[in-house]
Amino acid sequence: KVNAWEATAEVRAFFSTMSFDKADIIKIVNKAPWTWKNFNTEDLVRTVSFLESLGVEQKTIGKMVTLFPQIFGLRVEENMEPKVKYLLSLGVEQKAIGKMITSFPAIFHCSIEKNMEPKVKYLLSLSVEEKAI
């Protein structure tokens, strides 16, 4: 394991503004030390802003990060936005997407082509209505 407190002061300061205490930061860094290698506050702010645009409250983001710290290692434009667009194309309302990712933040780690689409196609083959998916 990585000495969690060796994370940059800039990143620690950012998480402190989100009401994370030292124990939270250590837990997050130890869960996903590889994601912290190239962190900068610009990327963190971009991710938080994106999540907030989906209706996720800042206090909830803290819980999400504790469950799935890898979320901060994902690029908004390359990873998160395409998944949100895919869900919107299925008819999922933006407000519901915020709730969905709060409950299951690892959805951003799922491949659209290899994971999401096959499941949707399977459910449709069972005559499940698209709205129910």
Per-residue model confidence (pLDDT) at position 16: 78
Tokens 């667009």, located at residue: 85
**Alpha carbons 2 and 112: distance in angstroms, whole number:** 32
Check residue 68 and report its DSSP letter.
-
Per-residue model confidence (pLDDT) at position 97: 92
Per-residue model confidence (pLDDT) at position 33: 73
Contact 61, 51 (CB under 8 A): yes
**Short-list 59, 73, 71, 65, CA closest to 26:** 65
**Alpha carbons 129 and 30: distance in angstroms, whole number:** 42
The per-residue pLDDT string of the chain (133 residues; one tens digit each, 9 = 90 and over) reads 555 556 567 777 787 787 777 787 778 778 877 666 667 778 888 999 999 999 998 888 888 888 888 888 889 999 999 999 999 998 888 889 999 999 999 999 999 999 999 988 888 888 877 666 6
Per-residue model confidence (pLDDT) at position 95: 84
Predicted TM-score (pTM) of the model is 0.79
∠ CA(24), CA(41), CA(52), 5° rounding? 75
Per-residue model confidence (pLDDT) at position 59: 81
**Domain 4-132 homologous superfamily, CATH:** Transcription termination factor 3, mitochondrial (1.25.70.10)
Per-residue model confidence (pLDDT) at position 107: 92
**Alpha carbons 28 and 93: distance in angstroms, whole number:** 30
Per-residue model confidence (pLDDT) at position 111: 94
Contact 39, 57 (CB under 8 A): no
Per-residue model confidence (pLDDT) at position 35: 61
**Alpha carbons 125 and 7: distance in angstroms, whole number:** 48
**Alpha carbons 91 and 131: distance in angstroms, whole number:** 7
Per-residue model confidence (pLDDT) at position 36: 65
Contact 46, 79 (CB under 8 A): no
